[in-house]
Amino acid sequence: MAEPRFSRSWRIIGYRSSMDSSFRIQHVDLFCVLFLLFIRSSISVSNEIPGFCAVGYGESECGPSSSSKLLIKGGTVVNADRQEVADVYIEDGIIVSVQPNIKVGDDVTVLDATGKYVMPGGIDPHTHLEMEFMGTETIDDFFSGQAAALSGGTTMHIDFVIPVNGSLSAGFEAYAKKAKKSCMDYGFHMAITKWDEYVEREMEIMVKEKGINSFKFFLAYKGSLMINDELLLKGMKACKSLGALAMVHAENGDAVAEGQKKMIELGITGPEGHVLSRPPVLEGEATGRAIRLASFVNTPLYVVHVMSIDAMEEIAKARKAGQRVIGEPVVSGLVLDDSGLWDPDFTIAAKYVMSPPIRKQGHNKALQAALSTGLLQLVGTDHCTFNSTQKALGIDDFRKIPNGVNGIEERMHLVWDTMVESGKISVTDYVQITSTECARIFNIYPRKGAILAGSDADIIILNPNSSFQITAETHHSRTDTNVYEGRRGKGKVEVTIAGGRVVWKDGELKVLPGTGR
Ligand code: URP
Ligand code: ZN
Ligand code: ZN
């Protein structure tokens, strides 16, 4: 049944109180509040996002700016291979022309980008929206997570479909449904969690009919998502024959289970037990093993969330030997260290729990260096958010703390500040590692990941002289904590354009569910 017209017109505007995730609503009168209450009671829970105006304001006010013609004037347009001062003209969601001094008529909305960078919107290769995991479900869905992404300059992400009872098609259907509320473009990878002839057949259907070209194998999470080497080999062979890309979560799950048992026996039940039970050596072992098996099968390999020197060095060694291995660090691994996990306040420590764990100081700097020299290729987030109540599932036992941290909103700013502002990489490198490389690897370039005539108008305007500050008080994710709480830095995404629509400008987010593809 079609949703009522008013429930599809949302605007995130305003600011949140940190604990109850409720935004205060601006510009609404008493009638609006009453009407709003009526609307909230008539929509599905999954569409409830704090901070909106759904109140009889038509799409032009509540939804994204809907002018189909846009000119971005006078900015420095940056692609992965070059930068130039030019204008960008957009019609109906597509870039029509990139050149200096484009003349347009009065019907075109003009954005002045003088002194600013005009870059492809970020593409996050690694997210988990609305994922059932560890006895709960990630709190950001395809609307709230994407709204957060857009406010931080990311205009596309690739999420991981988790099969339903091992069924890929059931998993695909479930995620296609979840993604209906999308407000930006997205793609899917798919996890492989068991093996039989149906799975092999379904992999082919996913590749040939559903456009999925990457499959993830979990070498950890024993008893749930983890698979053994026999299955990994079968899965890699299937990827090879289908021309799909094999991806691994590389930790030795058997050894992790052993490490966890040891911690509990020692009476270590707090979040620090998470770090102690799964040291870098277990990440290095699994990374090396997966790389060798990929070499044996002779198929490319993509290692997700590279968190340690141990794993990074395995990737670097294989690449040097000529093997096609791609390494994806995530923002948390690049900019944080494990100190937060030792905080005596459980809520603070638990928010940092993710796998592989955030490592000791030193691993982050080494991963930054590997990224700047090309040993690692692109940056993801592994955005996988749980609120404090969900994290408290593990208050007496770190093994039950849902694993995952935020990052989809923060990635573009933190990578700019850590890598470009610090002088480690160039602005073109920045475009490469936050957007273009991902588009190339997953076959969406040059439709995405480039500012070229014919590409989708997914664009950000970044002011290098402006600054950002991160806090759960103002972020757009539904979670009540932020692992980057209090961070400040240079470089601010002032405008985000998704599919030709201005969705983020002047600190205001205007998004509509159902506009993403
Ligand atoms: O802790 C994490 N990384 N949670 C998300 C699931 C995964 O392993 O990617
Ligand atoms: Zn993983
Ligand atoms: Zn992940």
% of the chain at pLDDT higher than 90: 87
Residue 408 in this model has a pLDDT that exceeds 60: yes
Closest ligand to Cα 333 = 1
The pLDDT-based confidence of 419 (bands split at 50, 70, 90) is very high
User: Is residue 310, in this structure, part of any structural domain at all?
Assistant: yes
Token code pair at residue 150: 């857009």
The pLDDT-based confidence of 61 (bands split at 50, 70, 90) is very low
User: Is residue 75, in this structure, part of any structural domain at all?
Assistant: no
The pLDDT-based confidence of 206 (bands split at 50, 70, 90) is very high
Residue 24 in this model has a pLDDT that exceeds 80: no
**Residue 257: CB partners within 8 Å, gap ≥ 6?**
222, 223
pLDDT of residue 51: 35
Give me the mean pLDDT over the 45-57 stretch: 31
The pLDDT-based confidence of 389 (bands split at 50, 70, 90) is very high
Reported as a single tens digit per residue, the pLDDT across 128-139 is 999 999 999 999
| Residue located nearest, by CA, to atom 4 of ligand 1 | 404
User: Is residue 91, in this structure, part of any structural domain at all?
Assistant: no
Q: Which atom of ligand 1 is nearest to the CA of 128?
A: 5
| Residue located nearest, by CA, to atom 9 of ligand 1 | 382
Looking at residue 88, the DSSP 8-state letter turns out to be: E
User: Is residue 13, in this structure, part of any structural domain at all?
Assistant: no
State the total domains in the chain.
1
Give me the mean pLDDT over the 150-175 stretch: 98
pLDDT of residue 283: 99
User: Is residue 25, in this structure, part of any structural domain at all?
Assistant: no
| Residue located nearest, by CA, to atom 1 of ligand 1 | 354
User: Is residue 412, in this structure, part of any structural domain at all?
Assistant: yes
pLDDT of residue 199: 97
Give me the mean pLDDT over the 94-116 stretch: 98
pLDDT of residue 66: 57
Reference 272, options 181, 169, 343, 373; nearest CA is 343
Reported as a single tens digit per residue, the pLDDT across 228-241 is 999 999 999 999 99
Q: Which residue range(s) make up the domain with 365? A: 121-449+464-490
Q: Quick check: 140 and 479 in contact, CB under 8 A?
A: yes
For residue 98, list its beta bridge partners. Answer: 88
Ligand 1: distance of its center to the CA of 213 in Å?
Answer: 20
Reported as a single tens digit per residue, the pLDDT across 310-338 is 999 999 999 999 999 999 999 999 999 99
Q: Report how far residue 87's alpha carbon sits from residue 89's, in angstroms, rounded to the nearest whole number.
A: 7
Token code pair at residue 216: 């993830």
Ligand 2: distance of its center to the CA of 165 in Å?
Answer: 19
Ligand 1: distance of its center to the CA of 221 in Å?
Answer: 9
Ligand 2: distance of its center to the CA of 332 in Å?
Answer: 13
User: Is residue 28, in this structure, part of any structural domain at all?
Assistant: no
Ligand 1: distance of its center to the CA of 136 in Å?
Answer: 13
User: Is residue 421, in this structure, part of any structural domain at all?
Assistant: yes
Q: Which atom of ligand 1 is nearest to the CA of 249?
A: 8
Ion ligand 2: protein residues whose beta carbon lies under 5 Å: 249
Residue 44 in this model has a pLDDT that exceeds 70: no
Ligand 1: distance of its center to the CA of 434 in Å?
Answer: 20
Reported as a single tens digit per residue, the pLDDT across 464-495 is 999 999 999 999 999 999 999 999 999 999 99
Q: Quick check: 330 and 382 in contact, CB under 8 A?
A: yes
Reference 150, options 123, 178, 128; nearest CA is 123
Reported as a single tens digit per residue, the pLDDT across 332-372 is 999 999 999 999 999 999 999 999 999 999 999 999 999 99
Instruction: Say whether pTM exceeds 0.95.
Output: no
Q: Report how far residue 89's alpha carbon sits from residue 102's, in angstroms, rounded to the nearest whole number.
A: 7
Ligand 1 neighbours (beta carbon < 6 A): 128, 249, 305, 354-355, 382, 384, 403-404
pLDDT of residue 1: 27
Pairing between β-strand 325-327 and β-strand 301-303 as defined by DSSP bridges: parallel
Q: What's 251's domain CATH number?
A: 3.20.20.140
